[in-house]
């Protein structure tokens, strides 16, 4: 039996001796050498995903102008950031659009610019126009403020995403006669296409499906920099159906993540516009999985063929909340470019970038090999049961 601790792995990273492979590379290693031998050899498996992730945004501290100001309305390039937190703090959400955007009044709306784009512009070092107003108080007399600002001008800026890295997600299809514009992209009528958004065998939560190493404080790749898992994400549903390999066959776990925006890059935080739906942010996220034992290694060897994804109709079942799944297809089929539904061959497309996921897993591997990135042991791992999520905040009697 192989057993490793976080401390032992970090010691090897420090000595430049850790064996790090990506979640793609580990698959062929296990095929060639088997679980046991691979587990004895490999210390860390890196994962990655790069896709539009709503429930993303940034806490920004804008700094005080002189005279001081208690900003009660804040706009950045015309996009409102929620200001009901403190004098000059705001939360800029990825899906917020300018009040002047016609949205779906001219259907399908273009949503060319939103909160995600502001975040991208900020990390790209661009100037954005800050427009703030206030009612004025004795301690904060200023009532309005307009200034072109950059991320450098902000004393603090933290990316805080409350739901990222969905563990398995629907494939969207359209059974109706008209084109649908959804957060799963454009769905052409009569099963014209099938859209998905996951990196499959590279996906962080599909490589540690039972969250043995993922939890509060897990250090991760986030937006091109370093971040941490800060909680389980909203809608975390660990009791979704799972296959024998532990991999959920419906949307299941999610992550809340946090990281300093100032060390992130435009390459991995990209504003996106989903026709007829809205604006969002594409987030690059990667997680290193420590091979503490053979079971974890076995999980990381999950291949596209082993991942089953639910196909859902976005003309009826999804919008009406019917919860019907048409069929389950493997991620291998999805990634091949076509799936078969009934007797129909349907072309597939992704909203997340597999090439990007691959690059993230590779970058994380490099960081660890170079001794620039160490692993952290979580304070507690993500709940695997609804009891843990159930806001009783306790697992097995222990308060979380």
**Which residues of this protein are in contact with other proteins, per CB under 8 A?**
50-52, 108, 110, 112, 185-186, 188, 192-193, 195, 270, 272-275, 280, 282, 335-337, 347-356, 358
Which of 33/110 has CB closer to other proteins? 110
Which of 64/110 has CB closer to other proteins? 110
The distance of closest approach from Cβ of residue 329 to other proteins in the complex, given in angstroms and rounded to an integer, is 15
The maximal CA–CA distance of the chain, rounded, in angstroms, is 72
Q: Which residues pair with 182 in a beta bridge?
A: 185
Cα 318 to Cα 168, 172, 188, 276, distances in angstroms: 16, 9, 16, 16
Q: Which one-letter DSSP state was computed for residue 29?
A: H
- From the number of C-beta atoms within 10 Å of its C-beta (0-12, 13-18, 19+), residue 47 rates as buried
Backbone Cα Rg of the chain? 22
At a CB cut-off of 8 Å and minimum separation 6, what does 370 contact? none
Q: Which residues pair with 39 in a beta bridge?
A: none
The distance of closest approach from Cβ of residue 272 to other proteins in the complex, given in angstroms and rounded to an integer, is 4
Token pair 């990281």 is found at 259
Q: 1, 15, 139, 355: which is the annotated catalytic residue? A: 139
φ, ψ at 27 (rounded to 5°): -65, -50
The distance of closest approach from Cβ of residue 348 to other proteins in the complex, given in angstroms and rounded to an integer, is 7
The distance of closest approach from Cβ of residue 313 to other proteins in the complex, given in angstroms and rounded to an integer, is 17
Between β-strands 288-290 and 327-330, what pairing exists: parallel, antiparallel or unpaired?
Answer: unpaired
Which of 134/164 has CB closer to other proteins? 164
Check if 210 is active-site: no
The distance of closest approach from Cβ of residue 285 to other proteins in the complex, given in angstroms and rounded to an integer, is 14
The distance of closest approach from Cβ of residue 79 to other proteins in the complex, given in angstroms and rounded to an integer, is 16
Cα–Cα distance, 294 to 347 (Å, whole number): 37
Which of 134/348 has CB closer to other proteins? 348
44-46 sheet: strands from edge to edge: 20-22, 44-46, 288-290
Which of 171/214 has CB closer to other proteins? 171
Between β-strands 171-173 and 308-313, what pairing exists: parallel, antiparallel or unpaired?
Answer: parallel
Cα–Cα distance, 259 to 251 (Å, whole number): 25
Which of 88/309 has CB closer to other proteins? 309
Tokens matching residue 371: 């001794």
User: What residues are labeled active site?
Assistant: 139
């Amino acid at each position: 039996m192989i057993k490793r601790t976080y401390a032992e792995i970090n010691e090897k990273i420090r000595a430049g001796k850790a064996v790090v492979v990506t979640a793609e590379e580990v698959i062929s290693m296990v095929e060639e050498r088997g679980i046991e031998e691979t587990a004895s050899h490999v210390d860390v498996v890196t994962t990655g995903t790069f896709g539009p992730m709503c429930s993303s945004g940034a806490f920004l501290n804008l700094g005080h102008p002189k005279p001081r100001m208690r900003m009660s309305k804040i706009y950045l390039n015309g996009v409102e950031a929620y200001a009901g937190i403190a004098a000059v703090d705001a939360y800029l959400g990825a899906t917020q659009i300018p009040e002047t955007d016609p949205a779906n009044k001219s259907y399908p709306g273009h949503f060319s610019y939103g909160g995600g784009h502001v975040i991208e512009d900020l990390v790209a070092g661009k100037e954005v126009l800050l427009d703030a107003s206030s009612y004025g108080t004795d301690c904060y007399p200023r009532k309005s403020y307009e200034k072109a600002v950059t991320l450098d001008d902000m004393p603090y800026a933290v990316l805080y995403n409350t739901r990222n890295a969905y563990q398995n997600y629907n494939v969207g299809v359209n059974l109706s006669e008209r084109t649908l514009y959804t957060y799963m992209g454009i769905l052409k009528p009569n099963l014209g296409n099938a859209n998905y958004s996951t990196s499959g065998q590279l996906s962080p939560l599909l490589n540690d499906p039972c969250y043995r190493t993922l939890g509060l404080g897990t250090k991760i790749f986030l937006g091109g920099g370093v971040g941490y898992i800060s909680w389980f994400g909203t809608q975390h549903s660990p009791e979704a159906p799972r296959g024998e390999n532990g991999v959920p066959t419906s949307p299941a776990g999610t992550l809340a993540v946090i990281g300093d925006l100032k060390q992130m890059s435009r390459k991995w935080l990209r504003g996106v516009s989903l026709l007829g739906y809205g604006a969002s942010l594409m987030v690059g996220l990667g997680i290193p999985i420590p091979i503490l034992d053979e079971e974890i290694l076995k999980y990381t060897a999950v291949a596209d063929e082993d991942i089953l994804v639910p196909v859902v109709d976005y003309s009826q079942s999804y919008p009406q909340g019917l919860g019907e799944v048409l069929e389950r297809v493997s991620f291998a089929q999805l990634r091949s470019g076509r799936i078969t539904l009934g007797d129909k061959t349907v072309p597939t497309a992704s909203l997340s970038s597999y090439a990007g996921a691959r690059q993230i897993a590779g970058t994380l591997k490099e960081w660890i090999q170079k001794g620039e990135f160490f692993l952290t042991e979580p304070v507690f791992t993500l709940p695997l049961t609804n009891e843990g999520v159930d806001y009783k905040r306790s697992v097995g009697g222990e308060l979380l």
